[in-house]
Amino acid sequence: MHYTTYPTIAQTSGGSTFFMTLASILASLLSFYSLLIWLRIVITWIRIPQNPLSHALAKIVDPYLDLFKSITALKRERFDLTPLAALAALSVVQSMLRLYGSYGTITLGMVLALLLQTLWSYLASPIFWFLLILLSVRLYFCYRPSPQTISYIAMLDSLVGFLLNWVQRLFYPGKSVNDRRLVTTTLIFVLVLYLTSSALIKALVTLVSRLGF
């Protein structure tokens, strides 16, 4: 990411240097805390039995993660993306501290760029990849149908069925379309949407980061 020129440490006063150092230390602490959150997520996913380490880890990070549990839009029956929102918020603060620790100043453009980049990296992009993976597996089952795969197809449709229905209404209104064609169309549509959104976000981040206020 390209930023405009900012004051270096040598140009700042002793007081400013102190706060810059403090900001860098806090950024490092938040980076370590983010690592603990990732460890907590992995332990939850693989369902490691409770032990003193996992219990202590839960006491450290769960109060913070619980602050985001009310974001119902990121919660579904089979998965919970609220930890990503918690990590995204932490990443924004950490990046702002690191920028201030490096330059001794921070602008509105830098903050907006960080927000855009973080929302994309921690929320939008993972959701796109999650959908692409699910749709790819769903397409595989279209070419390898069997009595054993019916339950897997039903599970996948519970996650991406809303997207399949939306694409059918968008591209095949009032028409009957076979399962394989619909899944293929949806997969291509999501991939194109992901690549387009990624390019737009990069351009927008570059633009707002150059704001001088």
Domain match, 155 and 204 both: yes
DSSP 2: -
Residue 147, helix vs strand vs coil: helix
| Residue 123: how many other CB atoms lie within 10 Å | 16
Q: What is the residue-level pLDDT of the chain in tens, covering all 213 positions?
A: 444 444 443 444 455 788 888 988 999 999 999 999 998 888 887 766 777 888 888 899 999 999 988 887 777 666 777 888 888 889 888 888 888 888 788 888 888 888 888 889 888 898 899 999 999 999 999 888 777 788 888 888 888 999 999 999 999 998 888 999 999 999 999 999 999 999 999 999 889 888 766
In a domain, 111, yes or no: no
The range of the structural domain enclosing residue 69 comes to 1-106
What pLDDT does residue 46 have?
73
For residue 49, report the phi and psi dihedrals to the nearest 5 degrees: -55, 150
In a domain, 64, yes or no: yes
pTM (2 decimals)? 0.71
